[in-house]
Structure 1
Amino acid sequence: MDRVSVFVVFALNGALYGSWAPRVPAISAQLHASPGPFGLALLCLTVGMLIVASLSGRLVERTGARAAIAGSTLLSCVLLPLLGLAGSVPVLGVMMFGLGVSVGAFDVAMNIAAVGAERRAGRPLMPVFHAGFSFGGMAASAAAGLAAAAHWSPVRHFTVAAIVVAVTLLLVLRGLPRAVPRQERNLPGPRVAPARRPVLWLLAVVALCSAIAEGASADWSALLMVTEHGMGEGSAAFAYAGFSLTMAVTRLGGAWVQQRLGSAATLVAGAVLAGSGLVTAAVVPVPWPAFVGFALAGAGLAASFPIALSLAGAAGRRADDSGGEREIAFVTTVAYSGFLIGPPLIGGVAQGSSLSAAFVLAGLVAALIAPAAVAAGRARHRELTALEPAA
């Protein structure tokens, strides 16, 4: 039951994002906003997520994943309709910051719950849970398109979406893990701060590179197809659609691959696939290989972020099977910075050279996941060896 509940929660998180992002043009038109200030208002979402991620580990450690997920999800459901009621760009920025805080806490809490479900199952499950996020986002995006076609206002659409998310959450809430009472915990010795552990920095690099490469595909793939491959805007949109679909489908089988190849080998193979796919999309002047390249990139990046968080949780595991909250929060915080670094990095390279060159860079960033994953495995092995009692 807990695995089904965690999967549904991941889908709800994806649905929250997939509900508002496609309605950005309608919100912009409603506010008569110019691109610069409107872009800063949207950036407030990432800022809110980044700030709260570093604090969420301690919060979940105290309250448990169930309470943290319930509180952050219901807060998101309250804030989502307010986006449609914002009467000015500054007010929208405040609402976006609040939504970033709630969704960021939700994100960390659900990943902590997922690690707990993995431990109870005794096998990898994180890629499957993240498939729930992908499919939830795709379903909500399709619903947003239908709402826009039916001329629903953003506030009407967001209100309906928030009600659906809240009701679904209440149906699965009992299946989520509760807090472990403090007196039941076995916490031997002082804990090492996550920032002082090389293995967590290396796992954070894996998640960061994945976030930058994924963000580049989301933000710039359509423009690459238009400007470098001569596609029309309608056809160009299928580049990211293919990326998202292959990512979602690959995540369903990612746990199976991870169980058979091991975490490091799965990350290395995915990095090679993603890097080669993005470089192919950038340098081959024919449109159809570019579509294939983005599909390969989606498949290659599918398991990177989930496995990085799973390994972070494993690095924080205690003898009583608890732990990992702060480690997951640390890796998530570093990864979120990729959503701040990525857009100006790709845009700056494109401005100074070309969008093709920028995507070659994105491919190289994706390829960096491979050495970081190998180094993380070695660092973890050194930690475990140091903990072994002397013969």
Structure 2
Amino acid sequence: MSILSALTLSRRPATGFVIVGIFWGGFAAHVPVLKAQLGASDALFGLLLLGTAAGLVSSMWLAPRLDRTLGARGMQVAALALALAWLFPGHMSVQVLFFVSLIFVGGASGLLDVTMNARVSDLEAQTGRSLMNANHAIFSVAYAVAALISGVTREAGIPPGWVFTGFSVVTILLLPVLRMAPAAVEPEVGYAGAYPLWPILLSGLVVLVAFMSEATVEAWSALHVERTLGGGAVQGALGPTMLGITMAVGRFSGQVVAERLREVPVIVGASLLSACGVILAAVAPVPALAYIGFGIFGLGVSVVAPMGLALVGKLVAPHLRTEAISRAAVMGFSGFFFAPVFMGLVSELFGLRAAFGGVALLALCAVPLALALGRYPLRTAQIRP
């Protein structure tokens, strides 16, 4: 019941999470066909994906100001921009144009990501409820469903451009639900505290590790199953689908756990679990074992980023919350700069198995970062509904 009530309470930003999930789930399942369509090597395809990262990071630096300007329409404008941006990448066969199209995709995705996470944090402060995991879980559900649908459409020979167009139509139909004003923040009387640089930095690094690990497995799991393990298109799509399903399960479970345990010990345990899962996927001799590895990884990594974002919202003064979440998200999504390049280059030199082994080491980096965050006291939220 706590999961259902959390989603009901945060249904407007949760709709934003669904929209982001369907596009990125569809993209993950289409990586093999997009890569072939562009005629790109592993390393070059990884570099092309930097277009997404450039747009993400650029937009997130502007997101707090745009959010204040757009007000209640912030999520609506961002979702519409995302729907329009995704009309182009699936049709591209020219590498430079594909890169440029991903810049716009990343920019719109980053704007929607910051605004919807900020709305969830506002609701957490207003209600005293933990809501971040449930919202990230619904993202994973949408991601898994979209990845599976995309696998079926690939088998049917439907071009990726038309699939993304369908997702854009769904997004436009959901726009009315996204109208939600940011909360009115009551600044603390006589606040004279220093800017909370270290809590933001450490939280941002935790989110960076989680998103970088997640992004590499999302984008390359289908290729690993199809090329390394000899699977077909539907089998390849089951890689990101399995990841999405288990991340949803992990985040829904994390919603319950977050109401009983503090974020730091959960992040530590989840990081260890995700490292074990990705190692299993790396050494798997058959697709079935790789799916199990991706599933274990998904269960672990699923809660790290949402708990990192929730934690930074609790460690700073209320009037700094949106800015702090934006800065942590900027750091986190900068992982999209490094993940494609890292995965592409290591895969080109040593193969996908070695690249996934590197992801396991990366996941373990969240452990000392979380322990360092545990030294900071939580602040009491002060937001007027």
TM over 0.5: yes
Question: What's the C-alpha RMSD, in Å, of the aligned pairs?
Answer: 3.2
- TM-score, normalised via structure 2 length: 0.83
* Aligned counterpart for 2:51 among listed residues 28, 38, 44: 44
1:388 is matched with: none
Per-residue deviation, 1:237: 5.3
Per-residue deviation, 1:215: 2.5
Pairing of 1:345-364 with structure 2 (within 5 A): 345-350=342-347, 353=350, 355-364=352-361
Which stretch has the larger CA shift, 285-294 or 322-331?
285-294
**Against the structure 1 CA distance between its residues 40 and 187, is the aligned structure 2 distance closer, same or farther, given a 3 Å change threshold?**
farther
- 1:339 counterpart letter in structure 2: F
SS of residue paired to 1:261: coil
**Against the structure 1 CA distance between its residues 202 and 38, is the aligned structure 2 distance closer, same or farther, given a 3 Å change threshold?**
closer
1:268 is matched with: 268
**Against the structure 1 CA distance between its residues 69 and 226, is the aligned structure 2 distance closer, same or farther, given a 3 Å change threshold?**
closer
Per-residue deviation, 1:247: 1.0
Provide the C-alpha distance between the structure 2 equivalents of 1:287 and 1:140, rounded to a whole number of angstroms.
Answer: 20
**Against the structure 1 CA distance between its residues 377 and 50, is the aligned structure 2 distance closer, same or farther, given a 3 Å change threshold?**
same
Per-residue deviation, 1:299: 0.5
Aligned residues between the structures: 369
**Against the structure 1 CA distance between its residues 103 and 226, is the aligned structure 2 distance closer, same or farther, given a 3 Å change threshold?**
closer
Which stretch has the larger CA shift, 108-117 or 131-140?
131-140
Provide the C-alpha distance between the structure 2 equivalents of 1:372 and 1:130, rounded to a whole number of angstroms.
Answer: 21
Deviations 1:59-118 (A, max 9, x none): 324544x32211111112222224456574433333221121111111111110111122
2:17 is matched with: 10
- 2:316 counterpart letter in structure 1: G
Native 8 Å contact 1:15 1:136 kept in 2: yes
SS of residue paired to 1:260: coil
2:80 is matched with: 74
Pairing of 1:330-341 with structure 2 (within 5 A): 330-341=327-338
- 1:233 counterpart letter in structure 2: G
- Uncovered stretches (5+) of structure 1, i.e. residues with no partner: 385-391
Pairing of 1:1-391 with structure 2 (within 5 A): 2-23=9-30, 33-35=39-41, 40-64=47-71, 66-84=72-90, 88-149=94-155, 151-170=157-176, 172-174=177-179, 176-178=180-182, 180=184, 188-189=190-191, 192-193=194-195, 197-222=197-222, 231-234=229-232, 235=235, 238-283=238-283, 290-318=290-318, 322-350=319-347, 353=350, 355-378=352-375, 380-381=376-377
Structure with bigger gyration radius: 1
- Uncovered stretches (5+) of structure 2, i.e. residues with no partner: 1-7, 380-385
**Against the structure 1 CA distance between its residues 28 and 370, is the aligned structure 2 distance closer, same or farther, given a 3 Å change threshold?**
closer
Per-residue deviation, 1:246: 1.0
**Seq. identity, %:** 29
Native 8 Å contact 1:70 1:173 kept in 2: yes
- TM-score, normalised via structure 1 length: 0.81
**Against the structure 1 CA distance between its residues 192 and 105, is the aligned structure 2 distance closer, same or farther, given a 3 Å change threshold?**
farther
Provide the C-alpha distance between the structure 1 equivalents of 2:284 and 2:32, rounded to a whole number of angstroms.
Answer: 32
Provide the C-alpha distance between the structure 2 equivalents of 1:239 and 1:90, rounded to a whole number of angstroms.
Answer: 28
Per-residue deviation, 1:208: 1.4
- 1:248 counterpart letter in structure 2: A
Per-residue deviation, 1:300: 0.7
Provide the C-alpha distance between the structure 2 equivalents of 1:347 and 1:79, rounded to a whole number of angstroms.
Answer: 25
Per-residue deviation, 1:40: 4.6
